[in-house]
Amino acid sequence: MKRLLFLCLTLLSLSGCAVRTASTARTEPASPPVFVMSSPELTSAPSAPESAASTGMESVLEVSVQNLSTTAEPTISVQTTTDSATASAPELPDPPPVPYGDTTPTWRPELAACFPADRDCNAALLLEKWMTVEGLTAENLEERACQQLILVAAQPTDGAEAVVVCYERSADGSFLPVQGLDALRGFVGKNGIKHNRRRNTNTSPAGLWAIGTAFGNELPPDNLKLPWRQVTPRSDWICDENSPYFNTWQERGDPSLTPWSDDVEHLEDYPTLYAWACVIEFNRPPDVVPDRGCAIFLHCSKGGTGGCVGLPRETMLAVLRWLDAEKNPYILISGTEAS
């Protein structure tokens, strides 16, 4: 009987332990599941986000999962690549640089045949024609911050005759002809224009040149926006290539200067031609090339010059009043080259 009673108490004790164990199991959180991947590596390519699509660029995220196991965290590498169209785009070579002023390396005279004759071109097409021939682009003008441009297009009928058009840069970056200065008669060297121009050839230097200081034997015009220098009885433009002052204006008799030879233009000797003028920055220091010449100006003229660009007196005065140093004016001397 005692043995039966002991057996019942033992069974009741074991039953209580089972109940407590089941209760505890229901209150503890379950262990997280374990996902076993059969593949040792996974690559996924999700769609590009909207922000990338809106800019026209698609990105592909290449996700590589390595060393997957139930005991170690996966190693994830992320790489961003562009879409195949962008990645395969060829790189275009840069256009050849345009040297300071001289367009000889980029000059392609055969391209003139792709355009109408000058007389059949409006002002916009005329500028496009000769910039194309000289190998110039709008970017070349932007690099120089040029906002005013004078086109001098030498004509084939008479080497000294030229069509002159003044342009001003508009808000959208295009060069528009200036009303009243859009179809002017002008003149170049008696023997026309020449690339890689040499001294004593009576040719004007083809190329893109900056406009510098204005000067004259007469008083400066009203509302002048270029720096001005008044001619005096001692004003010499030095053409002596052995002088440290070559192709500059100096005042004769200045004791602080090294003397120069008589190879000069004595500016007072040209009261009509240099009534008003401005410097064309051709072969000027520090970009001096021997035997290319000096004293190339935009000045008053009634015909062919020794190498300068000439305008009738009243036209010269109007152009001079229009020019503005703050707009970095340039002159493009182009057209039919002298044979």
Q: What is the mean pLDDT of residues 325-333?
A: 98
* Better-scored residue on pLDDT, 84 or 10: 10
Question: Which residues, 6+ apart, have CB-to-CB distance to 199 below 8 Å?
Answer: 291, 292, 293, 294
pLDDT at 338: 82
- Longest C-alpha distance within the chain, in Å? 154
pLDDT at 159: 72
Answer whether residue 50 shows pLDDT above 50: no
Task: Pick left, alpha or beta for residue 192 (phi over 0 → left; psi -120 to 50 → alpha; otherwise beta).
Answer: left
Residue 3, amino acid: R
Q: Where are the domains of the chain?
A: 104-335
Least confident of 20-29, 267-276, 324-333: 20-29
Distance from C-alpha of 100 to C-alpha of 90, rounded to nearest angstrom? 30
Q: What is the mean pLDDT of residues 220-224?
A: 96
Alpha carbons within 13 angstroms on the beta-carbon side of residue 5 total 2
* Better-scored residue on pLDDT, 159 or 176: 176
* Better-scored residue on pLDDT, 45 or 222: 222
Distance from C-alpha of 176 to C-alpha of 147, rounded to nearest angstrom? 10
* Better-scored residue on pLDDT, 43 or 173: 173
pLDDT at 14: 44
pLDDT at 91: 57
Q: Token pair of 203, please?
A: 């040719």
Distance from C-alpha of 212 to C-alpha of 228, rounded to nearest angstrom? 10
Distance from C-alpha of 169 to C-alpha of 144, rounded to nearest angstrom? 13
Q: Torsions phi, psi of 205, nearest 5?
A: -75, 115
Which pTM does this prediction carry? Answer: 0.72
Answer whether residue 61 shows pLDDT above 90: no
Picking from 315, 271, 316, the residue whose alpha carbon sits closest to that of residue 298 is 316
Q: 64 falls in which pLDDT band (50, 70, 90)?
A: very low
pLDDT digits (tens, 9 = 90+) for 253-275: 999 999 999 999 999 999 999 99
Least confident of 40-54, 210-224, 308-322: 40-54
pLDDT digits (tens, 9 = 90+) for 75-84: 333 333 334 3
Q: Torsions phi, psi of 4, nearest 5?
A: -65, -40
Distance from C-alpha of 60 to C-alpha of 41, rounded to nearest angstrom? 18
- Asked if residues 237 and 291 have their Cβ atoms less than 8 Å apart, the reply is no
Q: What is the mean pLDDT of residues 169-187?
A: 96
Q: What is the mean pLDDT of residues 167-185?
A: 96
Answer whether residue 333 shows pLDDT above 60: yes
Report CA 297 to chain centroid distance, whole Å.
26
* Better-scored residue on pLDDT, 23 or 271: 271
Residue 107, amino acid: W
Mean pLDDT for the chain overall: 79
Q: Token pair of 77, please?
A: 């590498």
pLDDT at 281: 97
**Percent of the chain with pLDDT strictly greater than 70:** 71
Q: What is the mean pLDDT of residues 157-176?
A: 93
Beta strand spans in the chain (E): 42-44, 59-66, 75-82, 148-154, 161-169, 175-177, 184-187, 193-194, 204-205, 207-216, 228-230, 235-238, 249-251, 264-266, 277-280, 297-300, 309-311, 330-335
Beta strand spans in 263-305 (E): 264-266, 277-280, 297-300
Helices (H), ranges, 193-338: 313-322
Distance from C-alpha of 24 to C-alpha of 15, rounded to nearest angstrom? 15
pLDDT at 114: 97
**Percent of the chain with pLDDT strictly greater than 90:** 68
pLDDT digits (tens, 9 = 90+) for 84-122: 333 344 454 554 444 469 999 999 999 999 999 999 999
pLDDT at 339: 78
CA-only gyration radius of the chain, Å: 41
